[in-house]
Structure 1
Amino acid sequence: MVGAATVVVLAGSRLVPTVSPLVVALLLGALVAPVLARAASARGGARLRATGPGIAWTSRVVLRAGVVLLGFGLSVPEVLALGWRGLVVVTTTLAVTFAGTVALGRVLRVPRVAALLVATGFSVCGAAAISAMQGVVAGRPRTPAQARADDEALAASLALVTLYGTLAIAVLPALASVLGLGDDRTGLWIGASVQEVAQVVTAAGAVSDPALATATVAKLARVALLAPLVAVAGAVVVRAARRATAGGAYVPVAGRARGTGDATRATGVVTRATGAAPRVAPVPWFVVGFVAAVALRSLGVVPAPLLAALATATTVAFAAAMFALGLGVDVPRLLRTGRRSLALGALSALLVTTTALAGVLLLA
């Protein structure tokens, strides 16, 4: 089922290249979920329960493998070619956007995980960054209700980077022309602020080839910062999980609820922790793998044909994992509770755009 859905998503995504296949896959999973639930109810649910472990494995292991593969698309020398001024603009924009979005989430009373995912998507690289951070938040002990809330937060954050990133495609090139920015500064602004890679390419490509080249490198610099950001978030999750365990918080017994179809979610069994620290790595293994992949790409030891195949494999892995996660999304509930997240996305888009522009005007 997941394989067939992935093929459909990848084929359909070519029709709308500015929309991430990850978003399409998650949406498709959310639309299919009610149909599967009705079918399971009518037939006793035996077949659906049999596919549950495979769906859980896809949403957990395949997602993390996709993050590792993402590293093969990043080369350190290419990032350094941006120059120190460009790197300062990118780094400052990312830090301000991430911290500001998390703070705004508290003000708007957006759930903590939802704010974290939105902050990651808008500050780093859209759907791929959100997927990487999802791997961190899904690794903590969760009740079934928390797992469902996390899946809905994932869906909301992916929708937001798609919505506001698409708006940026039309708005930023026009504003750059009004402000009289040159090609290089326009490319840096777009690369440092627009969410998805496809959106960056579309927006900067509409300006000029030099703007596209600069925007692409700036985007790569943002992707390079994904590993340290996720590693820090992982350390915070570990500390929070240990505090919760020491305080006797409820944690799953049948296995951590790491994705749709997980055994814990199926049974709904939870118990009070005994005080033992949860087994959550401070630095997730997929972040280590991401860094190793970047190192191999930077050393030039991976042949070009293999890099092309790995790029395709990355998209396939992410799309499959997003479809599996989408099967756990409650669309009606998401629509009822999504207004605050929508406001947070708007403020985050404004923050990343204005911070990057200020940096470009001051330094570039």
Structure 2
Amino acid sequence: MPEINKQQAEEFLSNISKEDNVAIIHHDDGDGVCSGIILNEHCIKQGATTKTFTYHLSKTKLSELDLSAFNKIIITDVSVKAIQEDIKSIKNTQIFVTDHHPKYDLPNDVLYFPTTAEGYIPSSRTAYELTGIKKWLALIGVIADSGNLYKENDNFIKETLEELNLTLEEFQKKYSHIFSDTIVYFADTPEKIFPILAEINSLHDIEKLQKYAKVIEEEIQKHVKGYKANKEKIGNINLYQFEPKFQVKGIVAAILSRGNQEETFIFFSQKDSDPNLLGISARDQSPNANLPKLLEAATKDLENSNCGGHPRASGGQIQTKDLEKFKNNLKDYIQKQP
């Protein structure tokens, strides 16, 4: 079954029972964590035994996870491109995949529920709409994944905010930023974050996370100031290399890009997993942005490079020694544009 519809996805989830051992594999970002929490809670309510696994795009392999005890596996917010081959290593298990990244073929026995036909629908919203659990948490996930920049989420956001009697700005300041900052705080120890966040049962409970968020906010503001003093510019593309103590590269890029929707922001920092590699975070809030195309051109012919993502938010990696080649590729790309 190459793809399933919403009704079939709901049927799979409603049929989960106390007879099932379910593994929930979720991306390590805000949308992935929120959707993972929602789907995990649903399975527990259905009586199933569950275990969660955090998926890091450049580190995790499905074939290396111990999934032998599970008869059902749920994968949420993980790029299908990343697991397209690796998923074939899982045998004799019912697998359900839901995701909003570009579609790729999966084995016919995988229940695949992509949402790309509806536009940019973060997986946390999908998890809520399939289960009816924690709508406020789904909104946090949507905002964490920049879903508020896409009109297809307008009605969901407006409806949820009206129910909460909050503006988007109030919700972000009081709740979603704190939640997302906490995920960043525990980025190097993801096994610790899920139990903490799974115990947050209301917006009021988010206040408990303030001690983690405060540390991250200080780190973010430090590097916003650093960018303004040390940025480099190629055409309308702003580049900045820095070494944060926490994984705030994408957040800093997002903050600065929201304040300037006419330009592109590409930030680099050394990867913890390999000092010879630079991680890339790119942001562009223009309606016509196509960051995957831009990064593909910039990383062309660079050894050990990769890139991908969404039109307005993408990432990748290059070898540290290839940074100047990356910049030269950018210059060539800009010159070829009409």
TM, length-normalised to structure 2: 0.27
Return the structure number with greater strand share: 2
Return the structure number with greater helix share: 1
